[in-house]
A and B are shown apart, each in its own frame.
Chain A
Amino acid sequence: MATFKVLEQNNPRVDAWEKVTGRATYAGDVYLPGMLMCKTLGSSRSHARIVSIDTSRAQALPGVRAVITGVDFPEIRFGSGALKDRYIMARDKVYYIGEPVAAVAAEDEITAEEALALIDVQYEDLEPVVDPLTALRAGSPSVHPDLESYEGYGFTIEGGNICTLLDADRGDVEQAFQDADHVFEDTFRSQGINQGFLEPMACVANVEANGRLTVWASTQGPYQVRAQLASVLDMPLSNIKVIPMELGGGFGAKLRLAFEAFPSLLSMKTGSPVKLINNREEVFTQNGPRHPVTNYLKTGVNKDGTIVSREAYTIFDVGAYLGAGPNSGIGHGLGAYDIPNFRLRSYAAYTNKVYVGSYRASGVADMTFAVESHMDMIAHNLGMDPLDFRLKNAIKEGDTAVNGSRVPRNGLFECLAAVKERLGLPRELPEGHGVGIALCEWRSGTGPSTASISVNEDGTVSLLTGSVDISGSDTSLASIAAESLGIAMDQVIVARRDTDLAPFTGPSGGSRIVYSQGKAVELAAEDARNKLLALAADRLGVPQDALACADGSVYVQDNPPQSLTLGQLAAMSVTSRSGPIVGNASLSTLPYAPVFSAQAAEVQVDRDTGQVKLTRYVQCQDVGVAINPMAVEGQLEGGAVQGIGRALTEDMQFDPETGAVRNPSFASYLMPLALDLPELETLLVRVPSEDGPFGARAVAEPPGFGPPAAIANAIYDAVGVRIRELPLSGERVLAALRGEGNDVAYIGDELQELKRAEGLAV
């Protein structure tokens, strides 16, 4: 491993003081003189035509300053992707319970709430469809009957509720199934999930004296919010400034425009600043969670355990609008394996439920549960050790990844070996105890990234990027700048940014900030360093390649005392021919860099109650280089905890008739607590990536993928029952133990219909 001065050290976070002392400012902490409070009225119907909305009584309530409904916005459809399938506020129809139909700005929050109760909405009910499998069937009620006329729609299939199909094919799947020694088929289902961030959505909007709109937002994607806001308000993008505030958790839920448009329009109407803060119920019912996913897998295997063929059909329920859609869930039907023949299909089906958002590559987590459970079942069926079966089929350097890229060097095998060694696998455990593993794959995120570094006269540097800090990413970016420039961490100032000030960059999500944004910082630092070296060469009268940059100085390698500090150089640069020293970098995409993680769970199962207790959790991930090991471990542990919640207790439940969220509160949506968790054991493998900053790989997403399958596999090991549906609740385990088959229905009929629609043989 290369030696580093700053990286690979547990440097404290650059924002530690503000966070620990409670002085970091979040959107909810913004108070402006004369500020009004905004509340929104949610639809009480799952699917209905809006006959009329009477806001006159609300308008008349003392303290109310403005009331808006859908028709106060320009009649413009927008979407989170290409498909423009929604209005920012319901106009003529509502598509789910909770969908905003009106918003009020009042002098205080209580008055705003009281005003909501005075708004009279008349609905004419339409038939809703709640279950995605029903939605796929011909003759099902249609959520968007005019779908084909929507801008960005590019897919036609009978039934009408399918808004997206993602597909990938290779080889001759049918032939391979026919030739295989064994064929295994299974269906799995994962549940509805909420991101569970602590800080609810919050924003303040204010029309400034010059007519521009300023929005203080809790967002991962300030430029995305700016663009979408401009589109729904039909105003030039340059008239909007988005100031991303500290983020109290997002996990993908805050990547896009949320409710910022309501206070914005209300501010335009009243001329006053307007604040909106969601309560937790609104977070659950209006703000893009993840819906249940059904996964059908079919695998052809030869006697020696070689996988020859895979078919994966995944049905994503996206709710009323495409939203974040399958959230990266295509291509992951293969798992981390080299399979020569495959047919992968991910369908997104509309239903009358709140539309989906992103959640830490949630679609991949859903698919990993299915694939890694299925792998375990096949291994047991063949009488092979589950770990050996994975090793035999794991994808290797030089293989072709599902996206067609060549698989570069990576640490997959090292990760599996590390977990095997830590647990001493294969391992016999006492009755009622079991161990299970899961292998997870992901890629380092990329996308537009920019950075600018200016060197100050006191030798510090100011780093400007457009990316929002998530889970300590600012600290990592500062470390990369410090390492490149040979200065200490505390010599890097990370600038507060907004969309006017900072260069455009992609959102903070999808495992891309340290990898891609970090690369931009590394390149910007290199640019600044080259300028420093050039200036020093000129002033010291030596060739540039005789110089080095370290410990805050540029010095002559053969004669270190001959040197200039960065501060001196910055001061000189002001009057130099080339001007002040600023390093810049821009990039759009980096090549494919996979990330692998091996995970293992040990559980104890209570045969009387079915309750599963997680007694040990081990994960090992190839991180390339640990920019900051403490931060990396924090990310891995946090991700594992989210995955453990998904595995055992978290379960967003929807009313089967109306699609209403039945448990919109942390009292009934159960995220794991410290008491529910064992000590998490986190191991790092370091096989540097080819293109990431200093060889780093992405870290954020994979830790959450493994727990559902690892725990399901451990339950099987402990008591011999296979649970195919999440969460792995006491109730499901007990039913399985009693042979009461709490199983996921086989989706044969639906599959045949989908295949027929595509013109495939059935």
Chain B
Amino acid sequence: MLRFDFLEARNLRHAIALLQRHGNDSRVVAGSTDFLVRWRQGFWRPAAVVNLKGIASLGRISFSPRNGLRLGALATVQSVESNAHIRRRYQALATGATSFAGVQVRNLATIGGNVCNASPAGDTLPALLAFDAQCTIAGPQGTRTLPLTEFFLGPGRTALEQGEVLTQLTLPAPMPRTGSLYIKHSPRGAMDIATVGVASVVTLEEDGRTCRDARIALGAVGPTPFRATEAENLLRGRTLTPGLLGQAAQAAEAAAKPIDDVRGSAGYRRAMVEALTTRTLQHALQMASGRAVTFEEQRRLAVQTAF
């Protein structure tokens, strides 16, 4: 059926109740930027659509050193991109957001929608994974939390159960001497889906040389975005030389399981994982060492893969 009932949720309880009432034939929407496309294409044809956008409390973004970053699921990608805390402490997330679509879509699209859509190429997902995001999920049985690493089950498939809604993402506060960057490889400078996306987060010890922690997440090279843990393990506790970064990049490439599609062959995607892992690590390392990189510069690095 092409026709559906459009139901406005007044609050979270109402939303869950509506979803329960309409069961499998319903779908929750936020910005609807994925929904409308998928509906037009005929992939999703629910009888009832439950709109969350009216629940203002789900759109907040807050940061405290103790609780870290709290992202309401309805926070728009634009609000993530422009948030001062995020730009300062979670550069990979800000660059993920700024590399996303174009201004109009960023104004509509939500971070929760990007996560729940579970596309392997979702641009905010590698950074959220690399910053150890936790999901808060509300449902008929109450609220539960789940690490984001366990949330993605496959392309478009998540751990959400019938009637459940993602309400918040929580990212621990980064340690001092942390730098990060996301780079999106796509032929076009905007309005393009990532052929490959890589986010790297580097934290240095007080000596400014030894790697205290490194986290690398890859997008568009597997059924879900994922962490390249073997590559991360090569770096922890070691001095970060160009050679070592190269080895980590090769380990990341080895972990990638891309497919051929209209955007590029598997082989090219693997090569891009290596190139972008090296680059994101280099820049993250420099930022962790205290080099100030303006947001404009980060944006240029993130979007225009080549330069």
Contacts and interface: CB of A to CB of B under 8 A. Distances in A.
Interface in B1-33: 1-3
**Which residue, B37, B187, B276, has most C-beta atoms of chain A within 10 A?**
B187
A192 to B, nearest CB: 12
B190 A675 contact: yes
Given A611-B306, A613-B304, A672 B188 contact: yes
B184 to A, nearest CB: 12
A729 interface: yes
Given A613-B304, A731-B268, A648 B187 contact: yes
Contact of B187 (A604, A729, A734): A729
A670 B304 CA distance: 15
Interface stretch (B109-117, B128-136, B232-240, B258-266): B258-266
B189 A675 contact: yes
Contacts of B264: 731
A423 to B, nearest CB: 21
Given A648-B187, A673-B190, A729-B187, A613 B306 contact: yes
**Which residue, A604, A608, A613, A734, has most C-beta atoms of chain B within 10 A?**
A608
A673 B265 contact: no
A604 B188 contact: no
A140 interface: no
B185 interface: yes
User: Size range of the interface on B?
Assistant: 20 to 34
Contact of B192 (A114, A663, A670): A670
Contacts of A611: 185, 187, 305-306
B81 to A, nearest CB: 16
Contact of A670 (B37, B188, B279): B188
User: Size range of the interface on A?
Assistant: 20 to 34
Contacts of B192: 670
Interface in A587-626: 604-606, 608-609, 611-613
B287 to A, nearest CB: 20
Contact of B272 (A604, A609, A653): A609
B275 A673 contact: no
Interface in B190-248: 190-193
B97 to A, nearest CB: 17
Given A731-B264, A734-B271, A606 B306 contact: yes
A701 interface: no
Contact of A731 (B1, B37, B189, B265): B265
Interface in B31-53: 37, 40
B7 to A, nearest CB: 19
Nearest to B193: A667
Contacts of B1: 114
A668 interface: yes
A606 B272 CA distance: 12
Contacts, number: 69
Interface in A715-762: 729-731, 734-735
Nearest to A110: B2
B2 to A, nearest CB: 5
Interface in A265-280: 279
B2 A730 contact: no
**Which residue, B40, B191, B193, B265, has most C-beta atoms of chain A within 10 A?**
B191
Given A606-B306, A653-B262, A668-B263, A673 B191 contact: yes
A613 B307 contact: yes
Given A613-B306, A653-B262, A734 B188 contact: no
Given A609-B275, A649-B188, A663-B262, A604 B2 contact: no
Contacts of A675: 188-190, 303
A667 B187 CA distance: 12
Interface string A99-119: 000000000001001100000
Interface in A651-709: 651, 653, 662-663, 667-668, 670, 672-673, 675-676
A635 B70 CA distance: 50
Contacts of A662: 262
Given A110-B2, A113-B2, A608-B275, A676 B189 contact: yes
B248 to A, nearest CB: 15
Contacts of A731: 264-265, 268
Contacts of A608: 275, 278-279
A401 to B, nearest CB: 38
A604 B304 CA distance: 12
Contacts of B303: 675
Nearest to A114: B2
Interface string B286-307: 0000000000000000011111
A609 B188 contact: no
A606 B307 contact: yes
Nearest to B303: A675
B64 to A, nearest CB: 36
Nearest to A649: B187
A113 B1 CA distance: 10
Nearest to A662: B262
Given A110-B3, A608-B275, A670 B187 contact: yes
Given A110-B2, A110-B3, A668-B262, A604 B307 contact: yes
Contacts of B189: 673, 675-676
A606 B305 contact: yes
A582 to B, nearest CB: 50
B243 to A, nearest CB: 16
Nearest to A740: B267
A653 B262 CA distance: 7
Contacts of B37: 667
Nearest to B3: A110
A138 to B, nearest CB: 32
Contacts of B193: 667-668
A662 B271 CA distance: 24
Interface string B115-141: 000000000000000000000000000
A152 to B, nearest CB: 37
Contacts of B304: 613
**Which residue, B2, B272, B306, has most C-beta atoms of chain A within 10 A?**
B306
A673 B2 contact: no
A613 B40 CA distance: 34
A52 to B, nearest CB: 24
Contacts of A606: 305-307
A672 B188 CA distance: 7
A419 B21 CA distance: 69
A675 B265 CA distance: 25
Nearest to B102: A673
Nearest to A666: B191
Contact of B305 (A609, A673, A735): A609
A612 to B, nearest CB: 8
B291 to A, nearest CB: 21
25 contacts: A110-B2, A279-B40, A604-B306, A605-B306, A606-B307, A608-B275, A609-B276, A609-B306, A611-B187, A612-B306, A613-B306, A648-B187, A649-B187, A662-B262, A663-B262, A668-B193, A668-B263, A672-B188, A673-B188, A673-B189, A673-B191, A675-B190, A676-B188, A676-B189, A730-B268
Given A114-B2, A609-B185, A670-B192, 13 more contacts: A110-B3, A114-B1, A279-B40, A604-B307, A606-B306, A608-B278, A609-B276, A611-B185, A611-B306, A649-B187, A649-B188, A651-B262, A730-B268
Give the 5 A-B residue pairs with the shortest CB-CB distance, closest first.
Answer: A675-B189, A606-B306, A611-B306, A608-B275, A731-B268
